[in-house]
Amino acid sequence: MNGNLSAEKFQHIVIEGPIGVGKSSLTQKLAEHLNADSLLEKPDDNPFLIRFYQDPQRYALSTQLFFLFQRLDQLRDGMQANLFKSRLIADFLLDKDPLFASLTLDEAELKLYRQIYEHQRLKIPKPDLVIYLQATAQSLLERVQKRAKSYESQISLEYLQQLNNAYSHFFYHYEETPLLIINTDHLNPIDRTEDFELLLHQIDTMKGRKEFFNCRN
C-alpha cells in the first residue's frame, strides 16, 4: 500500500462527523497530502458559541444562524475563487446544517431557521465523496476533553449521544453523493501513518455509492 490517491478521482471531498471526531484535523492532513485546497469551519469565530454552551435554550438560534451564514459566506467565497475547479477538501456539508437546528431549537425557532435556510441555500457543486467519521459518544467526550477548549467543558456525554444518533439518522438516509463511513474508535489517521494510508486505500478503492469501514484492533 503506497498511500497514493488517484489524481482523477474525487476532486471535491467533504469530511463530516460529530464534534471531537477529528474531521478538521483530517481535512487539513488530507489536503496537505493531496496538495489540495481546504475549506474549514471556524467555530472560534462564532461569538455566541460560548454562551450557547452556558445557556443552550437562550442562544441556540443565534448560534445556529451565525454558523449558517458563516458557511454560506465560505462557500460563496470558494465559488468566487474557483476553489471548486481544483481539488478541494472541506470539513462541513451544508446539507447537514439543519441537523443541529433540529436538536437545539424549539418548534417556532426551527420553523424560522428552516425558512432562512431554504431561502439562503446556494446551488453549489455537490461533493464527489462524503467521508463520515464515526466514534462512540465516550470516545468523542475523551477527545473533546483532551483538546481542552474552555467553552466545550460543558459538553455532556448525553448530548454527544444525541448528536451521534442524529448523525447516524442523517447519513443512514443520505443518498446525494457517494458516502464512505469510517469508524474511528480504533483508527487514528491523524497520528498513525499506517492508518492514514489505510484510509487513503479505502478512498481509492471505493466503487459503490455507500461503503463502511470498521478497523478493529
- 1 belongs to a structural domain: no
The reply to whether 170 falls in a domain is yes
Per-residue pLDDT at 7 exceeds 50:
no
Question: Is 117 part of any domain?
Answer: yes
* pLDDT at residue 2 greater than cutoff 60: no
Residue 195 lies in a domain: yes
pLDDT digits (tens, 9 = 90+) for 100-137: 899 899 999 999 999 999 888 777 788 999 999 999 99
- Residue 119: give its domain's CATH number: 3.40.50.300
Per-residue pLDDT band for 216 (boundaries 50, 70, 90) equals low
Burial annotation 113-131 (CB, 10 A radius, 16+ → b, else e): beeebeeeeeeeeebebbb
Q: Within a domain: residue 168?
A: yes
Q: In the chain, pLDDT over 90 holds for what percent of residues?
A: 62
Report yes or no: 13 and 126 within 8 Å, Cβ to Cβ. no
On the question of pLDDT at 214 being above 70, the answer is yes
> Does residue 4 lie within any of the structural domains?
no
- Alpha-carbon distance of 122 to 116, in angstroms, equals 12
Q: How far is CA 174 from the centre of its chain?
A: 14
Q: What is the pTM of this model?
A: 0.90
Give 160's pLDDT tier (boundaries 50, 70, 90): very high
Give the SS3 label for residue 127: coil
Whether the predicted pLDDT of 30 surpasses 90: yes
- Is 59 inside any structural domain? yes
Least confident of 58-67, 96-105, 144-153, 192-201: 144-153
Residue 88 CA to residue 36 CA, distance in Å, equals 5
Mean pLDDT of 186-194: 91
pLDDT band at 53 (very low <50, low <70, confident <90, very high): confident
Q: Which domain holds residue 38?
A: 12-214
Q: Which three cell numbers stand for residue 103?
A: 436538536
Mean pLDDT of the chain: 89
Distance CA 85, CA 78 (A): 10
Adjacent-strand bridge partners of 133: 182
> Model confidence at 217, in pLDDT bands (50, 70, 90)?
low
8 A C-beta contact, residue 35 and residue 89: no
Q: Is a pLDDT exceeding 60 seen at residue 148?
A: yes
Order of strands across the sheet that contains 37-39? 37-39, 88-90, 12-16, 129-134, 179-183, 210-214
Domains identified in the chain, total number: 1
Give the separation between CA 27 and CA 51, rounded to whole angstroms.
27
Q: What is the pLDDT at residue 5?
A: 58
Residue 2, in any domain of the structure: no
